[in-house]
Amino acid sequence: MNDECFARLVMDRIGERWTMLACQQIAAGARRFCDLKSGMEGVSGKVLSETLMRLERDGFIERRVVGSRPPAVFYEITPIGESLLQIVQGIVDWSERHGRHIEKARRTYAEPELAAAG
């Protein structure tokens, strides 16, 4: 997978910390920036703004400005963003099925380190 491989470009985008959470929030219905920020605990305004710009640039979301005073800005999921969320839902489902196994494996892996330290 070189730097110009489409799979790598997409995986880099969806692997960013806030990308999929933002898409999930927006897919639930058009959202304003402040609504997104309050629904994504721990994200800074700067990071959320940068994430939204990248998602818009890549075509996963659309930014719609409503001409009120001050203008209202809404973010909406696009068909391509919606199709990505369907795939990601499979990963979420897999994680729920196998999460306990992963946690058990982590504990088992860490136990020799704890025994050696004690």
Instruction: Write down the domain spans for the chain.
Output: 6-117
Q: Does domain 6-117 match CATH 1.10.10.10?
A: yes
**3-state class of 16 per DSSP?**
coil
Q: Scanning the structure block, which residue is given the tokens 């305004």?
A: 45
Q: In the predicted model, is pLDDT for residue 95 greater than 80?
A: yes
Q: In the predicted model, is pLDDT for residue 27 greater than 80?
A: yes
Cα–Cα separations (whole angstroms), residue 10 to 22, 38, 52: 16, 26, 15
Q: What is the pTM (predicted TM-score) of this model?
A: 0.80
The predicted structure's pLDDT at residue 4: 74
The span from the CA of 26 to the CA of 82, in Å, is 10
The predicted structure's pLDDT at residue 117: 57
Q: Which residues on adjacent β-strands are paired with residue 65?
A: 73
Q: In the predicted model, is pLDDT for residue 41 greater than 90?
A: yes
DSSP at 31: B
The predicted structure's pLDDT at residue 87: 92
Q: Which residues on adjacent β-strands are paired with residue 62?
A: 76
